Amino acid sequence: MNRHRPLRSLAILALLPLLGVVFWLTAVVASSIPSLLVVDVNVHGLTLATYAGDSAQRVAPLSLRVLDDANQDALKPAMPTPTPGRSVATPKPAASLSPTPTPRPVPSPLPTPSSPLPLPTPSATPGWATIAGQVIDSQTRLPIAGAAVSVNPGGQAALTDINGNFSLSVSPGTSTVTAKATGYGSASQTVTVNGGQKTNVVFRLASVTAFGSLSGSVTDSLSKAPIVGATVSLSDGMVRVTDVNGNFSFAIVLSGSYTLTVSAVGYVTQSQVVTVKTGHATSVQISLART
């Protein structure tokens, strides 16, 4: 075995020049091929490069950063690469969807009249008138609260206050004013009032619940002849004058006691107390003596 080892070593040494010649021939043949193409990796994409001796391109080194950049470029939308000799169409801007505003016509000013038009003169309207007053008891002269006062025509109405007062706005002219209250008879008056003026009236209502009547006659104490024109008055203020037969009458008198006074020309004045009862007619006879 030991005798063959030097022979092997010599054989290997003899083959080394032969292998060098083979590699040199291979390199010469490879450099003589002008169109040997290889794949060139570029960060902007994949392109072709040549290993020909006159090629100025160099193959980019393959590294992880290059591969990451290539992947990011691949995800981006590809831009068209202009080709020599061909014109690339430039994209036109999209048309705006918003409508173009149309200018509004400017109105021309109206012609100004040379002289102002005459305005109609309003006719004078008559103002309202006022009817005011008070409603009282005809016997006691006390105010009647809550009495209803109305005007015809017109239909205005009002209630008296605690003092028996009222006030109504009416149209100018002649109106009929009526007053009435619970437990009393009604009374009416005709009133004429001009525009802007105020007229006062007083209503004396007679009670229909607590009243009586008083009547009588006045005669001469000697001749028994009736005395005409004698004055008969009650202490509440009511006054009557005797007729041709010497008679007098108080149709409605609030029930109660009164002082009745009778006087006549040429006679002595006489007074006496009379009592009027509710629902009763009281009668008295008065005789006057001559002076």
Q: How far is CA 107 from CA 101, 104, 111, 138, 190, in A?
A: 18, 9, 12, 78, 65
> Distance between CA atoms of 248 and 228, rounded to whole angstroms?
10
What pLDDT sits at residue 24? Answer: 77
pLDDT score of 242: 95
Task: State the residue for tokens 């509710």.
Answer: 278
Residue 43 confidence (pLDDT): 44
Whole-number Å distance between alpha carbons of 96 and 102: 15
Share of the chain above pLDDT 70, in %: 65
Q: What is the pLDDT of residue 210?
A: 74
- Domains, the chain, in order of start with CATH, read 37-75 (no CATH), 129-205 (2.60.40.1120), 211-288 (2.60.40.1120)
What does the alpha-carbon distance between residue 65 and residue 205 come to, in Å, rounded to a whole number?
123
Supply 274's token pair. Answer: 């009379």
Residue type for 215, please?
Answer: S
Residue 108 has pLDDT above 80, yes or no: no
pLDDT band for position 105 (cuts 50, 70, 90): low
Q: Report DSSP state, residue 267.
A: B
Structure tokens at 160: 């008296």
C-alpha separations of 144 from 82, 90, 135, 139, 200 in Å = 116, 106, 6, 12, 17
- How many other CB atoms are found less than 10 A from the CB of residue 106? 6
pTM exceeds 0.95 for this model: no
Radius of gyration for the alpha carbons in the chain, expressed in angstroms and rounded: 70
Residue 194, pLDDT > 70, answer: yes
Number of Cβ within a 10 Å radius of residue 184: 21
Model confidence over 81-95: pLDDT tens digits?
555 445 545 555 554
245-280: pLDDT as tens digits: 999 999 888 888 999 999 999 999 999 999 998 888
Per-residue pLDDT, 149: 94
| pLDDT over 50 (residue 125) | no
Give the span between the Cα atoms of 277 and 262, in whole angstroms: 21
Confidence of residue 185 (pLDDT cuts 50, 70, 90): confident
